[in-house]
Structure 1
Amino acid sequence: MSALRLVYLATADARGHLMRAQLLTHALRAAGASVRVLTTSDEGSRFLAGFGVDAGLLSRHYAVQFDARQNMLREATDANVANYLFRPSRMLRDIWRLRAELRGADLVINDSFHPALLFMGCVPGWRRKVVHVYGASLRHALETNFHARVPGWLARLFGRIVALQIGASRARLEHDFGYAGCAERAGSHYRLPTPVALVSARNAAPSAGAAAVYLNPHFRDPQLAEALESGLAGAGERPHLVGEGYAGRAGWQANDPDWIDRAVASAFIVSAPGMAALSIAQVYSKPILLVVSEQPEQQINAARAAELGLLHRTVTWRGDAAAFADAVRTAGEELRAAAACAPTPGGHAAAAARLQTWVGVLTALAPRR
């Protein structure tokens, strides 16, 4: 049997989609599959290159818009998406290009909800190859995007249309940091645990060190960074600071391909409540300080972390640097104290098992040739 051929489209709105893409690409290639990766920004291509994945650029036109504190700009996003959907030189052009990609592929993975593949995933002929990958909280946020913003009937209609588009595809792979290690299936809908990066062998038995900070590129506000640094210093931390939005700022680096090792060896993690960061905290039993913004799916994730009993604290930036720094200091002291008492079992095997679960599901979904 010839090798499985996949096209993986990962949107570059947040780095979680790209991290998932590189993790699954390497795991699928190791299993003998051919994987071609596409993304939606030059920065996304460079990010993937740092993990050894050469990604093509579909187009730069579709993107969710954020302010410098990772709050989604709804009106700007609506305008950008509408401009993408209705200008022939944008979505139609991407569909034409993806049409050629589908012709040579067994499966096309849409991570997460790129409009061109949402449309193609409900069209006869194309739909049998499209697989949607998404976080449970992201799907809820998308389907309820217009609630309380437009008349109720129109918001419900939008949600139903999106749900129908998603449901028409070959399969839906919904992931969450709190899902069990094995895949649960109901028809063509799968529930899987969020993939997690593998810690290197030298960190199999980590010891608690400095805090490991990762803020995605939408964090660019220098006041927030200064307050975070001040709060961590007050908690006795000399943190490892990573964030593309703070590239060039003293003490920060834009990217770190070995951040997972830093995170597992840290006293605690500092990040926004994305699925990837929460999964690392859960699998490797690390306390985590969540920097919460108004982004809907991340608010859902933070609430779910509390429901599942994940060891964490939350801080929210409201423009008051002194209050934010004090909240970070207090949370950091509490998490460091908790880390000294909490067990830190190796999560390498659990992380590897998650990846193999995904490889097994995607391999089984491919049509037999």
Structure 2
Amino acid sequence: MRPRILYLATADARGHLMRAQLLAHALIERGAEVRVLTTSDEGAVFLGEFGIAAEVLSRHYSVQFDERQNMQRGATDRNVARYLFDPRRMLRDIWRLRRLIAGVDLLVNDSFHPALLVMGCLPGWRRKIVHVYGASLRRALLDNFRGRLPSWLARAFAAAIGFELRRARACLQHDFAYAEVVRTAPWRFNLPTPVALASCQAQQVPRAAVYLNPHFRDPCLAEGLEQGLAAVGLDSLRVGEGYAGRSGWLARDPQWVEAAASSALIVSAPGMAALSIAQVYGRPILLLVTDQPEQLGNVRRAAELGLRHEVLCWRGDVSDFAAQLEGAARRLLADEEGAAGDGQARARARLDAWVDRMLELVAEPG
């Protein structure tokens, strides 16, 4: 009998969706039946461009950001609280998911959707639910209320999240820095963040591959980025849904990873996916840092690992940002260190590790 997997990927960031389509295609190639859900119409459109016909579970749960990808904590807290306590929201989603879970072997929660955190605690459902999340995102979630609520309440929240994760069938925690699959607890595995396969790298292309997720919408930031790249003399492939319609930008590009793998330079926020691409394919990366807790943790980890990178910070001044970018890009481009080894082989090994683990979870007694 073919393994049946339901994959719910939140659409707050496109990294979750990219991982969903990568794993869905790889699982289907290995004989599984995979159905994908997401949490916004835009997320469904994104997945559609990768050949995944995703359904929208509901549009009520999301993390809130401003136009420069700074997390809006108060707005996020209000939105999540309403989702949790309005019976027309989370309870309705659980009602729908309970019917769907009856017909599958595994239900994957990528990442931290509240309905599945709750269902993952409850008898009858918990043995089918697998949580997928980045290591830095988990730390950020557990620390979410530290310094914002009385310490005992912040600890209680972290303890509740920890309990929900331990109760589920398994947790697949990923990080761009992980070198191999390691079982760290009976219910938790550490895996390297999966990366799309790019073709065997030809000669390096002298251009920058830019990706900004949809939370970036400030036109001044885009202008500063364009000016900085022009000053360096780099052509660029610029992708960002928040800049759809802006001259020289694409809303989406399913071949972006292919371009990034052979580029002279990657420019992106420090999400787990972008850092993994830079690491696997040996490309230098400019990291656009904003107030997003898990990404700040990723920057610290990149520095510890010695990943070739420079950090950029938008302060509202176009000329200053362009100068920052020009200087950082020139320093990275002056470093002639090439890509290390076969990036495609490393990407394939990461993807195979994920598919093997998921199919093993289907086969193992619950």
With the shorter chain as reference, the TM-score category is: over 0.9
Q: Is the 8 A contact 1:283 1:350 kept in 2?
A: yes
Aligned to 1:301: 298
Cα deviation for residue 368 of structure 1 reads: 5.4
Gaps of 5+ in 1: none
Deviation at 1:44, TM superposition (A): 0.2
Give the alignment partner of residue 352 of structure 1, picking from 322, 329, 348: 348
Cα displacement (A) at 1:186:
2.6
Task: Report deviation, 1:324.
Answer: 1.2
Pairing 1:266-281 to 2, within 5 Å after superposition: 266-281=263-278
Match of 2:53 in 1: 54
In the TM superposition, residue 306 of structure 1 has moved relative to its aligned partner by 0.3
1:218 aligned to 209, 215, 220, which one? Answer: 215
CA deviation string 1:306-361 (max 9, x = no partner): 000000000011212221111100011111222x3434533011101111100111
Residue 239 of structure 1: CA displacement? 1.1
The 8 Å contact of residues 274 and 298 in structure 1, kept in 2 or not, is answered as yes
CA–CA distance in structure 1, aligned partners of residues 123 and 71 of structure 2: 34
AA matched with 2:241: E
Mapped to 1, the partners of 2:38 and 2:113 lie a distance apart of 10
Give the counterpart letter for 1:65 in structure 2: Q
Could you give the per-residue CA deviations for residues 74-107 of structure 1, whole angstroms, max 9, x where no partner exists?
A: 0000010011111111100000000011100100
Residue of structure 2 equivalent to 1:156: 155
Alignment partner, residue 366 of structure 1: 362
CA–CA separation in structure 1 for the residues paired with 2:155 and 2:22: 35
| 2: CA distance, partners of 1:206 / 1:54 | 35
Determine which of 303, 318, 322 is the counterpart of 2:315: 318
Residues 182 and 162 of structure 1: CA distance in aligned 2, closer, same or farther (over 3 Å): closer
Report the alpha carbon displacement of residue 166 of structure 1 after superposing the two structures with TM: 1.2
> Where does residue 131 of structure 1 map in the other structure?
130
Maintained 8 Å contact 1:144/1:155: yes
Instruction: Supply the distance in 1 between the matched residues of 2:3 and 2:203 (Cα, whole angstroms).
Output: 37
Q: Give the 5 Å matches for 1:186-197.
A: 186-197=185-196
Kept in 1: contact 2:9–2:16 (CA 8 A): yes
Q: Which amino acid aligns with 2:306?
A: G
How far apart, CA to CA, are the structure 1 residues paired with 2:357 and 2:340? 30
- For the aligned residue pairs, the C-alpha RMSD in angstroms reads 1.1
1:231 to 217, 228, 231: 228
Contact 1:205 1:345 in 2 (8 A): no
**3-state DSSP class of the match of 2:206?**
coil
1:177–1:282: 8 Å Cα contact kept in structure 2? yes
1:202-254 deviation per Cα after TM superposition (whole angstroms, max 9, x unaligned): x4334232010000000000010001111111111121100000000010000
SS of 1:366's partner is helix
Superposed structure 1 runs of 4+ greater than 4 Å apart: none
Paired amino acid for 1:242? V
TM-score by length of 2: 0.98
Report deviation, 1:277. 0.4
Q: Partner of 2:244 in structure 1? A: 247
Aligned partners of 1:8 and 1:36 also within 8 Å: yes
Q: Is the 8 A contact 2:201 2:262 kept in 1?
A: no
Structure-2 separation of matches of 1:341 and 1:233: 23
Shift in Å, 1:182: 3.3
SS in 2 for 1:319: coil
Q: In the aligned structure 2, how far is the partner of 1:97 from the partner of 1:234?
A: 53
The alpha carbon displacement at 1:188 in A equals 1.4
- Within 2, Cα distance between the matches of 1:343 and 1:13? 31
Q: Which residue identity lines up with residue 146 of structure 2 in the other structure? A: H
Aligned mates of 1:79, 1:348 — CA distance in 2:
43
Amino acid at match of 1:57: V
Gaps of 5+ in 2: none
Identity %: 61
- 1:40 equivalent in alignment to 2:39: yes
CA distance in 2, matches of 1:351, 1:213: 20
* Paired residues, number: 365
